[in-house]
Chain A
Amino acid sequence: MRRPGRPSFAVLTCLLLVAALVPAAGAAPDDKPRAGGELVFIVAAEPPSFDAHREETFAMLHPGAPQYNTLMRVDPFDRTGTKFVGDLAESWTISADRRTYTFKVRQGVKFHDGSLMTSRDVKASYDHIISPPPGVVSSRKATYQSVESLDAPAPDTVVFRLKYPEASFMAALASPWNWIYKADILARDPRWYEKNVMGTGPFKFVEYVRGSHWIAKKNPDYWDKGKPYLDGFRAIFIPSSSAQVAAVRGERAHIQFRGFTPADRDNLVSAVGKKITVQESPWNCSIGATPNEQKKPYDDKRVRRALTLALDRWEGSKALSRIALIKEVAGIQVPGTPWATPPAELEKLAGYGRDITAARAEARRLLKEAGAENLSFTLVNRAVPQPYEPFGIWLIDQWRQIGVTVKHSVLETSSWFQALRNGEFEVAVTAPCNSIVEPDLDIHWFLTTSPVNYGKHKDTVMDDLYARQSRTLDPDERRRLLRQFEKRLYDEEIHFIMGFQWHRIIPHSSKVRGWTIMPSHFLNQQLDTVWLAE
Chain B
Amino acid sequence: MASYLAKRLLLIVPTLLGVASLVFVIMRVIPGDVALLILGGDQGSHIDPQQLAAVRQQLGLDQPLIVQFGVWMWGLLHFDLGTSLWTGRPVVEELLIRLPLSLELAVLATMISVLISIPLGMLAAVRQDTWVDYVVRVVSIGGLAVPSFWVGILVILFLVLFFGWGPPLLFTPPWEDPWANLQQMIWPVVTVGYRYAAVTTRMTRSTLLEVLREDYIRTAWAKGLAQKAIVIRHALKNAMLPVITLIGTEFAFLIGGLVVTETVFTLNGVGRFVVDAVAHRDYPVVQALVFLIAFGFVLVNLLVDLTYAWFDPRIRYQER
Nearest Cβ in chain A — how far from B17, in angstroms? 29
Expressed in whole angstroms, the Cα–Cα distance for A453 and B18 within the complex equals: 44
Report A145-184 residues with CB < 8 Å from chain B CB.
Answer: none
- CB neighbours (8 Å) of B38 from chain A are 48-49, 55
Q: Is the interface of A mostly helix, strand, loop or mixed?
A: loop
- CB neighbours (8 Å) of B89 from chain A are 210
- CB neighbours (8 Å) of A136 from chain B are 54
Q: Which one of A139, A141, A240, A250 contacts B165 once the chains associate, using CB atoms below 8 Å?
A: A250
Expressed in whole angstroms, the Cα–Cα distance for A236 and B36 within the complex equals: 25
B64 close to A (CB within 8 Å): no
Q: Which one of B55, B160, B182 contacts A246 once the chains associate, using CB atoms below 8 Å?
A: B160
Which of B69-77, B263-271, B287-295 is the interface stretch?
A: B263-271
B58→A135 contact, CB < 8 A: yes
Q: Which has the most chain B C-beta neighbours within 10 Å: A48, A134, A412, A430? A: A48
Expressed in whole angstroms, the Cα–Cα distance for A522 and B148 within the complex equals: 36
Expressed in whole angstroms, the Cα–Cα distance for A415 and B33 within the complex equals: 10
Which of B4-12, B107-115, B166-174, B221-229 is the interface stretch?
A: B166-174
- CB neighbours (8 Å) of B32 from chain A are 414
- CB neighbours (8 Å) of B58 from chain A are 135
A137→B39 contact, CB < 8 A: yes
B45→A56 contact, CB < 8 A: yes
Q: Which one of B45, B54, B170, B272 contacts A236 once the chains associate, using CB atoms below 8 Å?
A: B170
B263→A417 contact, CB < 8 A: no
Closest to B49 in A: A451
A21→B183 contact, CB < 8 A: yes
Report B42-67 residues with CB < 8 Å from chain A CB.
Answer: 42-48, 51, 54-55, 57-58
A431 close to B (CB within 8 Å): yes
- CB neighbours (8 Å) of B169 from chain A are 40, 213, 236, 238, 247, 252-253
- CB neighbours (8 Å) of A25 from chain B are 164-165
Question: A209 with B268: in contact, given A18-B159, A142-B48, A433-B45 (CB under 8 Å)?
Answer: yes
B94→A22 contact, CB < 8 A: no
Expressed in whole angstroms, the Cα–Cα distance for A207 and B148 within the complex equals: 32
B219 close to A (CB within 8 Å): no
Expressed in whole angstroms, the Cα–Cα distance for A194 and B59 within the complex equals: 13
Expressed in whole angstroms, the Cα–Cα distance for A22 and B41 within the complex equals: 42
Q: Which has the most chain A C-beta neighbours within 10 Å: B48, B153, B169, B273? A: B169
Interface residues on A, range: 35 or more
B43→A211 contact, CB < 8 A: no
Q: Which one of B31, B263, B266 contacts A418 once the chains associate, using CB atoms below 8 Å?
A: B31
B97 close to A (CB within 8 Å): yes
A209→B97 contact, CB < 8 A: yes
A247→B88 contact, CB < 8 A: no
Report B277-296 residues with CB < 8 Å from chain A CB.
Answer: 280
- CB neighbours (8 Å) of A451 from chain B are 46-48
A460 close to B (CB within 8 Å): no
A32 close to B (CB within 8 Å): no
Expressed in whole angstroms, the Cα–Cα distance for A194 and B38 within the complex equals: 11
Closest to B98 in A: A211
A389 close to B (CB within 8 Å): no
- CB neighbours (8 Å) of A211 from chain B are 97-98, 268, 272-273, 276
B163→A242 contact, CB < 8 A: no
A385 close to B (CB within 8 Å): no
B87 close to A (CB within 8 Å): yes
Question: A252 with B276: in contact, given A417-B41, A452-B46 (CB under 8 Å)?
Answer: no
Q: Which one of A49, A134, A252 contacts B168 once the chains associate, using CB atoms below 8 Å?
A: A252
B33→A56 contact, CB < 8 A: no
Nearest Cβ in chain B — how far from A455, in angstroms? 14
Q: Which one of B54, B264, B265, B273 contacts A137 once the chains associate, using CB atoms below 8 Å?
A: B54
B39→A139 contact, CB < 8 A: yes
Nearest Cβ in chain A — how far from B188, in angstroms? 12
Closest to B275 in A: A239
B16 close to A (CB within 8 Å): no
Report A237-255 residues with CB < 8 Å from chain B CB.
Answer: 237-240, 242-243, 246-247, 249-253
- CB neighbours (8 Å) of B163 from chain A are 18-19, 22
Question: A46 with B86: in contact, given A55-B40, A452-B46 (CB under 8 Å)?
Answer: yes
A57 close to B (CB within 8 Å): yes
- CB neighbours (8 Å) of B40 from chain A are 48, 55-57, 139
A251→B268 contact, CB < 8 A: no
Closest to B179 in A: A21
- CB neighbours (8 Å) of A413 from chain B are 42
Report B17-33 residues with CB < 8 Å from chain A CB.
Answer: 31-33
Closest to B87 in A: A210
What 1/0 mask marks residues of chain A from 221 to 248 whose CB sits below 8 Å from any chain B CB? 0000000000000101111101100110
Expressed in whole angstroms, the Cα–Cα distance for A81 and B19 within the complex equals: 52
A450 close to B (CB within 8 Å): yes
- CB neighbours (8 Å) of A213 from chain B are 169-170
B186 close to A (CB within 8 Å): yes
A432 close to B (CB within 8 Å): yes
B31→A412 contact, CB < 8 A: yes
Closest to B263 in A: A240
Nearest Cβ in chain A — how far from B303, in angstroms? 29
- CB neighbours (8 Å) of A135 from chain B are 54, 57-58
Question: A246 with B88: in contact, given A137-B39, A139-B51 (CB under 8 Å)?
Answer: no
Q: Which one of B31, B36, B164 contacts A250 once the chains associate, using CB atoms below 8 Å?
A: B164
Report B132-184 residues with CB < 8 Å from chain A CB.
Answer: 153, 156-157, 159-161, 163-171, 182-183
What 1/0 mask marks residues of chain A from 23 to 64 whose CB sits below 8 Å from any chain B CB? 101000000000000001000001011000011110000000
B168→A195 contact, CB < 8 A: no
A271 close to B (CB within 8 Å): yes
Nearest Cβ in chain A — how far from B148, in angstroms? 15
- CB neighbours (8 Å) of B51 from chain A are 137-139
B37 close to A (CB within 8 Å): yes
A212→B31 contact, CB < 8 A: no
Q: Which has the most chain B C-beta neighbours within 10 Å: A49, A137, A252? A: A137
Closest to B85 in A: A48
Nearest Cβ in chain B — how far from A132, in angstroms? 9
Expressed in whole angstroms, the Cα–Cα distance for A239 and B266 within the complex equals: 8
B276→A242 contact, CB < 8 A: no
- CB neighbours (8 Å) of A319 from chain B are none
- CB neighbours (8 Å) of A139 from chain B are 39-40, 45, 48, 51
A243→B43 contact, CB < 8 A: no
Expressed in whole angstroms, the Cα–Cα distance for A134 and B53 within the complex equals: 11
A272 close to B (CB within 8 Å): yes
Expressed in whole angstroms, the Cα–Cα distance for A412 and B38 within the complex equals: 17
A431→B94 contact, CB < 8 A: no
Nearest Cβ in chain B — how far from A139, in angstroms? 7
Closest to A58 in B: B43
B48→A212 contact, CB < 8 A: no
Nearest Cβ in chain A — how far from B50, in angstroms? 9
- CB neighbours (8 Å) of A22 from chain B are 159, 163-165
A252→B46 contact, CB < 8 A: no
7 examples of A-B residue contacts, CB within 8 angstroms = A48-B40, A48-B86, A54-B39, A137-B51, A211-B273, A243-B265, A249-B164
Closest 7 pairs (CB-CB, A-B):
A250-B166, A56-B40, A22-B165, A414-B32, A212-B268, A211-B268, A48-B38
Contact surface of A with B, Cβ cutoff 8 Å: 18-19, 21-23, 25, 40, 46, 48-49, 54-57, 134-139, 141-142, 194-195, 209-213, 234, 236-240, 242-243, 246-247, 249-253, 271-272, 412-415, 417-418, 430-433, 450-452
